[in-house]
Amino acid sequence: MQRLIRTALLALFFVAALPVAFADTLPYPVKPIRMLVPFPAGGSTDPVARLVAQKLNEAWGQAVVVDNRPGANTIIGTDALAKSPPDGYTILLTASTHVINSLLMSKLPYDSYKDFIPAATLYKSEFLLVLHPSVQANTLQELIALAKAKPGAINYAISGSGNANQLAGELFNMVAGVKLTSVPYKGGGPAINDLLGGQVQAMFSVPVSVIGQVKAGKLRAIAYTGETALAALPQVPTFAQAGLPDFDMKSWCGILVPAGTPKAIVDKLSTEIAKILAMPDVRAKLEDQGQIPFIQNTEQFTALMSADREKFGKIIRTANITAE
């Protein structure tokens, strides 16, 4: 009797393991893939999404369809991924906003970590500190002196409460010992428009959004968070070169898949993305936009999200940042 029970249990275990084992040997992909993008079409992530989709299509012979699902600070698109089958045919291109949301919002419709697998990073973006030309500061130290002389008088635009550029501004306040005042907008476009119009005086922006205006003389860039100068604006010093070495803020962009996606599929996706990011034409297109190709696999990407959770959490608590 005991032998029969053991045999039955082993059979049940074998049958239960079949779906996972079978999934790991299935060819992938055999049908089109949907790439969710939780940002509006035309935003800074859109060209990257379409470039990666094109390269995956060329490599695998299957269409990768970009599906923009903006809204609620990336929550709508992210929730769509959480509700998708874990089969590798729905993926999400997202940004460090994913981590920030987990720190600011207590009632998300998903668990930001348990419901997803970080498959691969795509790029990281440093920040440029840009000013309206009317601001009487041509260097970082002049801005700090001006801000100390007039606490709270200098307003900086943010693309939404709790976004990465607000965290950059609050970290700057802490490190520089100043008080710049954040002004929230519904997106980066309106924020930059008001900066160009002089309604606000400053902004911490990813380079792709402001390089054109800086080159045209409509905005003044005074510092960059990278370790070396930005290739597109080599005359702009890094924060370290400008006398503020402790200021360091980056955002990233990467691919998530639903929890439960077979490891073989995650690994294949991660490996192919690494190949894409090594292509000279892809690297050139990213770098032209101030986006730094950034290759990390699942384990490294998971560690990055954990480190950002700690770093961003400290800024949020110290500055008392809320989602409203």
Within 10 Å of residue 138's Cβ, how many Cβ atoms?
Answer: 11
Q: Look up residue 108 and give its two tokens.
A: 């998300």
What is the rounded CA–CA span in Å between residue 323 and residue 103? 9
CB 128 within 8 Å of CB 219: no
Res 208 pLDDT > 90: no
Percentage of the chain exceeding pLDDT 70: 92
Select 9-125+250-319's CATH number: 3.40.50.300, 3.40.190.150, 3.40.50.1220, 3.10.20.90.
3.40.190.150
> What's the average model confidence in pLDDT over 229-249?
94
pLDDT value of residue 2: 52
Res 4 pLDDT > 70: no
pLDDT bucket at 290, cuts 50 / 70 / 90:
confident
Instruction: Enumerate the CATH 3.40.190.10 domain ranges in the chain, comma separated.
Output: 128-224
Res 15 pLDDT > 60: no
- pLDDT-wise least confident of 7-21, 88-102, 186-200: 7-21
Is domain 128-224 in CATH 3.40.190.10, yes or no?
Answer: yes
- CA triplet 153, 157, 160: central angle to 5 degrees? 130
Q: Look up residue 293 and give its two tokens.
A: 């190709």
> What's the average model confidence in pLDDT over 281-301?
93
pLDDT value of residue 18: 46
pLDDT value of residue 324: 62
Instruction: Enumerate the CATH 3.40.190.150 domain ranges in the chain, comma separated.
Output: 9-125+250-319
161 or 255: whose pLDDT is higher? 255
Q: Look up residue 141 and give its two tokens.
A: 């130290």
